[in-house]
Chains A and B, each alone.
Chain A
Amino acid sequence: MTNINRKDKIKKGTILIACICFSIVGFFISIMNGAVKISPSEIISAIFFEEATVNYQIIWNVRLPRTITASLVGTSLALSGCILQGVMRNPLASPNIIGVSSGAGLMTLIVLIIFPDYYYLAPLGAFAGALLATLFIYFLAWKEGAATTRLILAGVAVSSLLGAGNNAIMTFYPEKVAGVIGFMVGGLSSTNWKHVDMIFNYAVIGIILLLFVTNKLNILMLGDEVATGLGLNVEATRFFFIIISSLLAGAAVSVVGLLGFVGLIVPHITRLFIGSDYRYLIPATIFTGSAVVVLCDTLARVMFAPLEIPVGIIMSALGAPFFLYLLRRKKEH
């Protein structure tokens, strides 16, 4: 190993540590801020010594579940997008492209609007819808293998078809639309420990599975033919990654609604900092995804307090310009 090689590793390692610090800081900022400001020392004593103060109640019942949910949602969506951009070899790939948003959206609308008595099945419906839409797209794109261009085209077609279904339901039941707006925009208000339970297992399993196979994503990036030549079973690997990203994004969407933007933009921002080597990109994305959603949600709570705005709006309003800025700056070098 030469100097430059080692330097490169140290640099990437440093960026990775910075990402971890960023997400820890984000976590604390989120718990500190809200209707009542809480100091870091109070947070520590509440979490580790469980002193029964008012702040303890706020932290345990409100802020902690919400922040953990935001963190897991951010990680899941960002990872999902990160994998898809690699697997599809397309920078515009995001959980939307494999039908996660449209599938989850349609199922949720069906449950909430047509069968409102079964409202508690909505998260399950969103999850099932995401997975079914993904499988349907994969099935349509299959023709002696699922080439990435066919996958993307099938994804766009199926998404717009399901989107038409969404719009049709909203047109037929205009009086009930107000109740589902929160889901459509994506938000974290009134999150509790139940929501943490809903996403925790999927996120953790997804992360652990992915950390073992990051080098396969690197191989896949070389093109299908090269990857086959290197002994990678391209079809099976691609299917595995698509299902994992559908599970991750589906779980996230079932908790917070259609928060698709994270999956597109966070992986790109992370890539601009740490490069395209998935052995570093995946771990880094876990933390940047978490930090971005946690911080945006904090802003969403604090900015117009006591009024709360959906985190999806903040994320698009801040993320898009920041992303464009990074893109331009990168070009100049």
Chain B
Amino acid sequence: MDLKVEGLNVSYDEKSILKNISFNVKSGEIVTIIGPNGSGKSTLIKTISRYLKPRSGDIYFNEVNIRRINTKEIARNLAVLPQVKAVSSDVSIEELVSYGRFPHLKFGKRMGKDDKEVIAWSLEKTGLFHMKDRYVATLSGGERQRAWIAMTLAQKPKMLLLDEPTTFLDICYQMETLEMVKDLNKTLGITVVMVLHDINQAARYSDKMMVMHEGELREYGEPCRIVSKDLLKDIFRIDADIYEDKVNNCPYFIPKKNNNTAGKCQDD
């Protein structure tokens, strides 16, 4: 699914959070939004997922303005995995995944055979089928994240929005989650737009990277162009050396020793 964002402005209490953001995401791409804290990355994802209302600007899915599409209709094509989510202590994995069928259900109708097939497929795809009766609340952080991804899969989306899917996970689960996202992108052709904090991971798993800074879209392009000494210094305020990861065919950086410590992460 193509995504087009045009002149997006979002503000909260007169404070402008996103300033005139425009970009395109082509169908089948993985695009990762990076940027320092408070740069507006999460706000951007929340606006595209229609949780926040823009002050001005438009969002198009496959050239159709989302203001013209019913929200349930959107949910049949676009799945969202936000950072903040809740689940009652007695909800099983299968039950959580079944909620992903909600946008496909007609008013007052129960789930049919094909809904159940999609749920089983989502569980299979995320490797959760053998434990589908366990309560989500009892799972480890990584398994829980997989259960949520399975729920979004049950929506049968063409595009997936992920807001920091690896936060609070250990490195093994971070890799597992990102590998799974990549696999879903490759095998099912799901377009992915996500926010990541780890720039090296973003460079490794994305087709394109988007750099946000103080509410503006500063750079947008392929990882080898984005991950540069100047950009890391200008936007992330670190000195770093750039190397090439020949195995994964992507750039990576190693930060140098930070000379001025306290207060360096704040803006001047």
Q: Which residues of A come within 8 Å of B, CB atoms?
A: 1-2, 4-5, 8, 89, 144, 212, 215, 218-219, 221-226, 228-233, 275-277
Q: Are B85 and A223 in contact (CB under 8 A)?
A: yes
Mark each residue of chain B from 102 to 137: 1 if its CB lies under 8 Å from any CB of chain A, else 0.
Answer: 110101100000001000000000000000110000
8 contacts across the A-B interface (CB closer than 8 A) = A144-B53, A225-B49, A226-B86, A229-B51, A230-B102, A231-B102, A232-B102, A275-B90
CA distance A218 to B151 in the complex (A): 14
Query: Which of these binds chain A: B72-80, B175-183, B212-220?
Result: B72-80
Mark each residue of chain B from 57 to 91: 1 if its CB lies under 8 Å from any CB of chain A, else 0.
Answer: 00000000000001111111011111111111111
Q: Are B99 and A222 in contact (CB under 8 A)?
A: yes
Q: Are A226 and B80 in contact (CB under 8 A)?
A: yes
* In the complex, chain A residues whose CB is within 8 Å of the CB of B100: 230
CA distance A231 to B49 in the complex (A): 10
Q: Are A228 and B80 in contact (CB under 8 A)?
A: yes
B166 contacts partner chain A, Cβ-Cβ < 8 Å = no
* In the complex, chain A residues whose CB is within 8 Å of the CB of B53: 144
| Chain A, Cβ-Cβ closest to B107 | A212
* In the complex, chain B residues whose CB is within 8 Å of the CB of A233: 71
Mark each residue of chain B from 231 to 268: 1 if its CB lies under 8 Å from any CB of chain A, else 0.
Answer: 00000000000000000000000000000000000000
Q: Assuming the A-B contacts A230-B100, A276-B90, are A225 and B107 also in contact, with contact meaning beta carbons closer than 8 angstroms in the complex? A: no
- List 12 extra interface pairs beyond A225-B80, A231-B73, A232-B102, CB under 8 A: A2-B133, A219-B102, A221-B88, A222-B85, A223-B84, A223-B85, A226-B80, A226-B85, A228-B80, A230-B99, A232-B72, A277-B90
CA distance A166 to B46 in the complex (A): 44
| Chain A, Cβ-Cβ closest to B74 | A231
The residue from B79, B87, B92, B105 contacting A215, defined by CB atoms under 8 A apart = B105
Q: Are B75 and A230 in contact (CB under 8 A)?
A: yes
CA distance A229 to B52 in the complex (A): 11
Q: Which residues of B come within 8 Å of A, CB atoms?
A: 46, 49-51, 53, 70-76, 78-92, 94-95, 99-100, 102-103, 105, 107-108, 116, 132-133, 152, 155, 161
Q: Assuming the A-B contacts A228-B51, A277-B95, are A222 and B105 also in contact, with contact meaning beta carbons closer than 8 angstroms in the complex? A: no
Q: Assuming the A-B contacts A212-B108, A225-B49, A225-B84, are A231 and B99 also in contact, with contact meaning beta carbons closer than 8 angstroms in the complex? A: no
Q: Are A229 and B79 in contact (CB under 8 A)?
A: yes
* In the complex, chain B residues whose CB is within 8 Å of the CB of A228: 49-51, 71, 80
CA distance A277 to B90 in the complex (A): 8
CA distance A229 to B79 in the complex (A): 6
* In the complex, chain B residues whose CB is within 8 Å of the CB of A219: 99, 102
| Chain A, Cβ-Cβ closest to B80 | A229
CA distance A186 to B77 in the complex (A): 51
CA distance A224 to B80 in the complex (A): 12
Q: Are B89 and A276 in contact (CB under 8 A)?
A: yes
* In the complex, chain B residues whose CB is within 8 Å of the CB of A276: 88-91
Q: Shortest distance in angstroms between B44's beta carbon and chain A's nearest beta carbon?
A: 14
Q: Are A225 and B102 in contact (CB under 8 A)?
A: no
CA distance A219 to B75 in the complex (A): 13
CA distance A317 to B52 in the complex (A): 46
Q: Shortest distance in angstroms between B103's beta carbon and chain A's nearest beta carbon?
A: 4
* In the complex, chain B residues whose CB is within 8 Å of the CB of A8: 92, 133
| Chain A, Cβ-Cβ closest to B103 | A231
* In the complex, chain A residues whose CB is within 8 Å of the CB of B46: 225
Q: Are A230 and B86 in contact (CB under 8 A)?
A: no
* In the complex, chain B residues whose CB is within 8 Å of the CB of A89: 86
* In the complex, chain A residues whose CB is within 8 Å of the CB of B133: 2, 4-5, 8
Q: Are A226 and B82 in contact (CB under 8 A)?
A: yes
CA distance A89 to B108 in the complex (A): 23
Q: Shortest distance in angstroms between A297's beta carbon and chain B's nearest beta carbon?
A: 32
* In the complex, chain B residues whose CB is within 8 Å of the CB of A221: 86-88
Which has the most chain A C-beta neighbours within 10 Å: B53, B99, B152? Answer: B99
| Chain B, Cβ-Cβ closest to A1 | B116
Q: Are A231 and B71 in contact (CB under 8 A)?
A: yes
* In the complex, chain A residues whose CB is within 8 Å of the CB of B83: 225
Q: Shortest distance in angstroms between A261's beta carbon and chain B's nearest beta carbon?
A: 24
CA distance A61 to B75 in the complex (A): 55
| Chain A, Cβ-Cβ closest to B89 | A276
Q: Shortest distance in angstroms between B20's beta carbon and chain A's nearest beta carbon?
A: 20
Q: Shortest distance in angstroms between B185's beta carbon and chain A's nearest beta carbon?
A: 18
Q: Shortest distance in angstroms between B14's beta carbon and chain A's nearest beta carbon?
A: 12
CA distance A5 to B123 in the complex (A): 15
The 8 tightest CB contacts between A and B, nearest first, are A231-B75, A229-B80, A231-B72, A225-B82, A231-B103, A276-B88, A4-B133, A223-B86
| Chain A, Cβ-Cβ closest to B78 | A229
* In the complex, chain A residues whose CB is within 8 Å of the CB of B71: 228, 231-233
Which has the most chain B C-beta neighbours within 10 Å: A221, A228, A229, A230? Answer: A229
CA distance A89 to B51 in the complex (A): 18
CA distance A225 to B48 in the complex (A): 12
Q: Shortest distance in angstroms between A240's beta carbon and chain B's nearest beta carbon?
A: 13
CA distance A276 to B92 in the complex (A): 11
Q: Are B51 and A230 in contact (CB under 8 A)?
A: no
* In the complex, chain A residues whose CB is within 8 Å of the CB of B75: 229-231
* In the complex, chain B residues whose CB is within 8 Å of the CB of A4: 133
CA distance A224 to B105 in the complex (A): 19
Q: Shortest distance in angstroms between A15's beta carbon and chain B's nearest beta carbon?
A: 13
Q: Are B94 and A231 in contact (CB under 8 A)?
A: no
| Chain A, Cβ-Cβ closest to B81 | A229
CA distance A2 to B108 in the complex (A): 24
